[in-house]
Amino acid sequence: MASSASTKKRQSSSSLEESAGRSSAAKPQLLTQLPGSLFTSPGFIMGLIALEFLYGLFLFAVMSTNKRHREQARAAAELHANTAPVEPPLAPKIEAVAKPEPVSEPAANEVITAAPPAQEKVEPETSKTATLESQTLVQNEATSELTQKSNTEPNREARNDKKTVALATPEPPPAKVKFADKNPLSIFPLLGPLVDPLQDSLVTKGDETLTIQVAAGAHIFDATRDITDAPRALAEVDGDFTAEVKVLGDFQPGTVPLKGLFFTFQGAGLLLWQNKDNYVRFERATAYTGERLQWLYLESCKDGKLTKPKKPMNVREGAITLRLERRANALVYSYSLDGKTFIKVDHAATTLPRKLSVGISANNASPRAFPARFTDFVLKPAS
């Protein structure tokens, strides 16, 4: 009976717990049904990892950009530090004539002679004439004073004879003006004066070379934008001709282009010129477009439009002699590395008039000054 009562008691207790819904076995099942935490969910963790990865990429891009900008700024600073200061073109120097020192009263037996002009100074003809007139005036005044004094002293006739001989002594001829010192282009006497539209290039000469120092910046021919800022020196020709020039030097346009350009460029050579809309350039050139290029550059402009350009010919760095010939209605371009054997580059028909100008030019499109060096310029009728 006791066992039966105990059994009933347990059954009753189970019934009460089930009806109350609070049995100890039900607790874990209810907890598992609760929603998990947002911060511990797999989606949140993966999103956090992706966000950190993107942030890392952003930091890497910012640091790389800053590093590239610092390198470009440092390279630009080095280029500008190495660029020689550009001097303005120098006008021919005209030295003022020094005023003659007062002539002291000569002794009774002193012979009066004119001091020879200084050989070092190169003076204009007008200045030399003024100098000679001043010297003559001073000599005449000194002679007049000497004559008056000698007339009051004894032996007047003997002294007058000596003075007459002294005044009749011929003066030494004036020093010859060396125009080559004033005009460096006289080393190539056939060429006219330098045409320098921007007025910032300088011409100097050596023993046998002529250098056109082109300032940093854009000094180029660009028919498409009506730009003709490259310095040049030309001579007139009529009919068939042969023009040659040897281009020297090491071209260094640098690797940092000017604003608005994607390349640097330096070129020097022959220029056949009618006007700003009709010309031909035949140059040795160096450019940087991501890699350094050494070219023979040939450009022809007709009525303000560039004709189909000739593909640049790669050549080694160093001195090159360029030759441009006109034969009736054709232009022949050739070059030589030794000045003897010439290699033909192109042969093209031309409609340019017979009367033109031909000479040398220098082009620069870089933040560095460009010393274009020339020698052995030849211009003669075609044989």
Domain annotation for the chain: domains and CATH numbers? 83-178 (no CATH), 183-381 (2.60.120.200)
Top pLDDT among 139 and 220 is at: 220
pLDDT at 110: 45
Q: What's the pLDDT at 12? A: 55
CA dist., res. 273 & res. 279, Å (int): 5
Q: Could you write out the DSSP letters of every residue in 232-244?
A: EEEEEEESSEEEE
The pLDDT of 258-272, averaged and rounded, is 94
In this structure, what token pair is assigned to residue 164? 């007459």
Better-scored residue on pLDDT, 47 or 152: 47
pLDDT at 69: 63
The pLDDT assigned to 186 comes to: 80
- The predicted pLDDT at position 77 comes to 57
Write the Ramachandran bin of 304: left for phi over 0, alpha for psi from -120 to 50, otherwise beta.
left
Residue of 105 and 187 predicted with greater confidence: 187
CB neighbours (10 Å) of residue 337? 14
Q: What is the pLDDT of residues 314-370, one digit of tens each?
A: 888 889 999 999 999 999 999 999 989 999 999 999 999 999 999 999 999 999 999
Alpha-carbon gap, residue 250 to 135, rounded angstroms: 52
User: Based on the number of CB atoms within 10 Å of its own CB, is 125 exposed (0-12), middle (13-18) or buried (19 or more)?
Assistant: exposed
The one-letter amino acid at 217 = G
* Residue 68 to residue 75: CA distance in whole angstroms: 10
- At which residue do the structure tokens 């100890």 appear? 24
pLDDT mean over 128-146: 52
The pLDDT of residue 153 is 47
pLDDT of residue 288: 93
Percent of the chain with pLDDT over 70: 59
Residue 203 pLDDT greater than 70, yes or no: yes
- Contact, 89 vs 196, CB < 8 A? yes
- Of 319, 85, 376, 83, which is closest to residue 202 (Cα–Cα)? 85
Average pLDDT of the chain, as a whole number: 74
Secondary structure of 51-72 in HEC code, one letter for each residue: HHHHHHHHHHHHHHHHHHHHHH
Task: With cut-offs at 50, 70 and 90, classify the pLDDT of residue 143.
Answer: low
343-352: per-residue pLDDT in tens?
999 999 999 9
Confidence of residue 237 (pLDDT cuts 50, 70, 90): very high
pLDDT (average), residues 122-126: 46
**Block residue for tokens 């940093």:** 216
Of the two residues 273 and 155, the one the predictor is more confident about is 273
